[in-house]
Structure 1
């Protein structure tokens, strides 16, 4: 299950039909959403991520996971995601019924299987 976030994020289309490219990989925005629930506030999650020590730990942890699972995903950049970026993602493409159905299908499959489906 430790690779579930990346698997769920993989079913979200990486490009919008119009507009500029996204600043943050989908897995980071989904992770931000999890932190917003943990901290009970999206603004508080953003505030925590702006701490340079916290963001460095997040970046290192993600890099280890990307290497360990051999995932071809962009590493987190120098800037952490923030509340406006998450809110835009949530309102723009994470609420698309087709995307939600795809994420739910992956989540259900991962939750009902014990081993990680990626080469862990």
Structure 2
């Protein structure tokens, strides 16, 4: 990993540390995503009651996911020497996240006990 890539990764890690600290200091999960829209989307699949706390949590989770996607995509953009974020940066980022998830899943899978 070249020094610029390392610097970008460290920047993303620093932003996440700040987010965790900020979210840990307060019980109020303010979000930029409209909670009413989240509730509407959640209720599309089934006619169930959804507690408002669940909607707030989901809105915050979506907001953090979007923030992470943008940060990681901007790292790819900078690595390519561009100043404009492109769709390919987002697609590559999604692919990286999928690969990381698969690798973590493989590491955490429990193998059958041969003694049974």
Query: Which TM bucket (shorter chain)?
Result: 0.3 to 0.5
TM-score computed with the length of structure 2 as normaliser: 0.33
Bigger helix share: 2
Higher radius of gyration, 1 or 2: 2
Larger relative CO (CA 8 A, sep 6+): 1 or 2?
Answer: 1
TM-score computed with the length of structure 1 as normaliser: 0.32
